[in-house]
Amino acid sequence: MVVREWTASDDDIARRFDTYRRVEVVKWLGNATPLADLDQAMAGQARAEATYAKHQGRYGVWAVQIRDSGIVAGSVLLVPMPEPSDGSPGGGEVEIGWHLHPDSWGRGYATEAAKAVLDYGFGLGLPEILAIAKPDNAPSIAVMRRIGMRHFGRTSRWYGMEAELFRAHAGTAADAL
C-alpha cells in the first residue's frame, strides 16, 4: 500500500466519487449522504486540501493506493475530532478512520493503512488516538482490534450518532500486534 495525498487528477476525483456515491460506504459515516455528482467529489478534494493546509500536513484524509495496480482502495484519515454533538466540552481528541471502496473490502488494506497512520500519529507525539464506528459495523470494529485499539464502550459524543469508542495509546497499540 501507498498512503498519499488525494489529488485533483481526473482519476482521483473519479475514484473518490465512485467510492462516496455508494450507500454501502456512506451508511457508516455518521450523517453523510452519497455523493450525487463529480462536483461534490471535487468539493471533497477542496476540503481535503483545506485540512492539509490548516494543519500544515500534520492531519488529513489520504488516498490508500494499491502499490501493484495503482488503484486507489479508498481513504484513511487522521483528523481532530469535531466538537462533541452531545454538548460536552471538546478535548482536542484525534480520530483515525478509513473508508474503502467495496471492491477493496476484505483484503487487509484498511488494516495495513490504518496501522501505518496510527504509527504516524504516534510519531507526531500524540499520546492517544481514537476511532469510532457504528455498533453494527463489524468490519471496522475488527480493524480497530487488529491494530491494537481497545474498546471503551458506546458513546454519542460525536457526529450525532451512537458509536463504539476505541482508543490506542502511544507505545501500547503496536505491542498488541
pLDDT single digits (tens) 88-97: 777 789 999 9
Q: How is residue 19 written as a grid cell? A: 467510492
Sign, CA dihedral 132-135-137-140, equals positive
Question: In the prediction, which pLDDT does 44 show?
Answer: 87
Nearest to 158 by CA among 133, 141, 126, 121: 133
Q: Please state, as a whole number, how many other Cβ atoms lie within 10 Å of the Cβ of residue 47.
A: 11
For residues 8-16, average pLDDT = 94
Extract the C-alpha cell encoding 150: 481497545
pTM of the model: 0.90
3-29 mean pLDDT: 94
Query: Phi and psi for 120 in degrees, rounded to 5?
Result: -60, -45
Query: What pLDDT is attached to residue 173?
Result: 55
Q: What is the DSSP letter of 122?
A: H
CATH homologous superfamily of 2-176: Gcn5-related N-acetyltransferase (GNAT) (3.40.630.30)
Cα–Cα distance measured from residue 122 to residue 174, given in angstroms and rounded to the nearest whole number: 10
Amino acid identity, position 166? F
Residue 86 banded pLDDT, cuts 50, 70, 90: confident
Pick from 36-45, 85-94, 164-173: least confident:
85-94
pLDDT in tens, 54-74: 888 899 999 999 999 999 999
| Mean of per-residue pLDDT scores for the chain | 92
**pLDDT tens string 110-163:** 999 999 999 999 999 999 999 999 999 999 999 999 999 999 999 999 988 999
Q: What is the pLDDT of residue 177?
A: 41
Distance CA 20, CA 175 (A): 33
Q: What is the dihedral of CA 161, 128, 173, 82, to 10 degrees?
A: 30
